[in-house]
Amino acid sequence: MAGQADNRAPYAKIAAHYTELIASGQLQPGSLLPSIKNLSEEWKVSTATAEKALRKLRNDGLVRGIHGIGTEVLDRPASMSSGSQRQDRGRRTGSSWGQGERSDSHEAAVVSAPAEVAQALDIDPGADVVRRSRVYRDRHGIVAHSTSWIPARYGKLIPQLAASERLTGGTSLQLITQVTGHPISHRIDTASAHLLTPEYARLLELDPDSPPAEPVVVMTAKFVDAEGNIVEYGVDLGGPGRTWRTESEVSS
């Protein structure tokens, strides 16, 4: 968020800068990144730091090194994000969007809870729930179709949850936390591969009569507040060809 100190290591700042340029399309596939020498001079870092930044971009699958030529930007779809990763991103930046992403097709309604959703939210099947859905896209197409299932009592506290438009003032979890005063204390994530059903094809805007043969990634996330209340159940359906990727620091 604006005004926050950036405590990342210098190599990570350099890598993040070029990741954003690539994701936004400012650096097109086939473009060459500056050499290690030029990076070290521009960013006032050692050549070892500059080389480490380029190595991270290569490890992230964004660029490749070509002997005798330099470091070339690759053209590949970005990984999809889980609901938990979007929550983390929203807390850090105020937006659940990934780099180069946008969202559209925002829809919301109060509906009867399907059996799977009722079980996840620990409510009776058929009880009222708020269903919020949207589509995340980047320049390659659909990143994921995302659905949030929220107990109806929160919709009564926050009417805009049931409005078919992008939320203002924060994510659904942030808004619920603000109103109840109970922060999210933990979450439960799952990831699985599913064959593309006609319903999945519809949600991903594909032709149901000739869907891709490869499976798609389905991520779920259940969010629980400090009082033990399940406040949201999210389901993210990855677009064809999208993978799920996560990264964490490993201490020695």
Tell me how far apart the terminal alpha carbons of the chain are, to the nearest angstrom. Answer: 30
Residue-by-residue pLDDT tens, the chain, 252 positions:
344 557 889 999 999 999 888 877 788 889 999 999 999 999 999 999 999 999 999 988 889 899 889 999 987 766 777 777 777 777 777 677 776 788 899 999 999 999 999 999 999 999 999 999 999 988 778 999 999 999 999 999 999 999 999 999 888 999 999 999 999 999 999 999 998 888 999 999 988 778 788 889 999 999 999 999 999 999 999 988 788 777 666 665
pLDDT at 152: 97
pLDDT at 83: 72
3-state secondary structure 92-119: HHCCCCCCCCEEEEEEEEEEECCHHHHH
